[in-house]
Amino acid sequence: MRLTIDTEARTLTREVRGEESVLDLYSKEAFEAVSREWLRIGWNEKYTYTFSWMGRPIIQLPDDLVRIQEAIYQVKPDALIETGVAHGGSLVYYAGLFKAMGKGRAIGIDIEIRPHNRRAIEAHEMSPFITLVEGNSIAPETVRRVHSLVQPGETAMVVLDSRHTKNHVRAELEAYHDLVTPGSYIVATDGCQMFLHDVPRGKPEWAWDHAAAAAEEFAREREEFEIVQPPWPFNESDLTENVTHWPKAWLRRK
């Protein structure tokens, strides 16, 4: 695809396989086209590696953080389970929301929680709202441990942010979907790999081997789940699509 922006004419020309279309530069369609390329370039340049939350690195697109905050406030889960801890920024972010709401806790799972990250997370002001579980997220003993931390009758949300291959995400969906309560979500993050397969830091297999493919397959086989973006509680624009690294990520339990 070729995009040509003419700021004087206020147009965006899009050429796809030899077919050309001209859009109003200041339109919903142009915003979506430019945003997709901005996401691709930003990912390649490690834009998400430039943020922290309350002192801990948080490798997330800010747009996705605001959107998941909206969903968390809507669902108000007693427990949020996240696979993939890294530096702990996301866990600190969720924990802060739970402290502010007066309800909820975060459970973080990682195959290896590096000692310096564990020390920093456990010393953090938000640590009373965080439980760390070290182990392979799809290993039976890890899955049993996490399930034991969620009590019967509690509302739960799950965020999958560890290994983003289709097979691994599909295995995580099978391992943790039963914790998700009706009206809540299991979120298969970083399906953006499907449109990053041809950027310099990408991999060709990402064209098919990504989290969104796992989510779509799971939703086809589990009628109690549907892929649906949480509603925007506020929108005075004509926009309807998220700027996101998490396309087709939100699996809502009906």
| pLDDT at residue number 44 | 98
Q: Are 3 and 33 in contact (CB under 8 A)?
A: yes
Residue 117 shares a structural domain with residue 177:
yes
Instruction: Kindly report the pTM of this predicted structure.
Output: 0.97
- What average pLDDT does the chain have? 98
Residue 147 shares a structural domain with residue 68:
yes
Nearest to 53 by CA among 87, 100, 22: 87
Residue 61 shares a structural domain with residue 175:
yes
Query: Which tokens sit at 93?
Result: 């972010």
CATH number at residue 195: 3.40.50.150
Q: What does the pLDDT look like over 158-209, one tens digit per residue?
A: 999 999 999 999 999 999 999 999 999 999 999 999 999 999 999 999 999 9
| pLDDT at residue number 224 | 98
Residue 67 shares a structural domain with residue 134:
yes
Q: What does the pLDDT look like over 10-66, one tens digit per residue?
A: 999 999 999 999 999 999 999 999 999 999 999 999 999 999 999 999 999 999 999
Residue 73 shares a structural domain with residue 41:
no
Residue 79 shares a structural domain with residue 96:
yes
| pLDDT at residue number 201 | 97
The DSSP output letter for 223 is: T
Domain that residue 101 falls in: 53-253
Residue 122 shares a structural domain with residue 225:
yes
Considering its fold, how many domains does the chain have in total? Answer: 2
Residue 21 shares a structural domain with residue 76:
no
Residue 149 shares a structural domain with residue 175:
yes
Residue 164 shares a structural domain with residue 41:
no
CA distance 72 to 179: 15
Q: Count the alpha carbons within 13 Å of 6 in the hemisphere toward its beta carbon.
A: 10
Residue 65 shares a structural domain with residue 37:
no
Q: Which residue spans within 97-217 are E strands per DSSP?
A: 105-110, 130-134, 156-160, 185-188
Looking at the chain, the whole-number percentage of residues with pLDDT higher than 90 is 99
Residue 41 shares a structural domain with residue 67:
no
Looking at the chain, the whole-number percentage of residues with pLDDT higher than 70 is 100
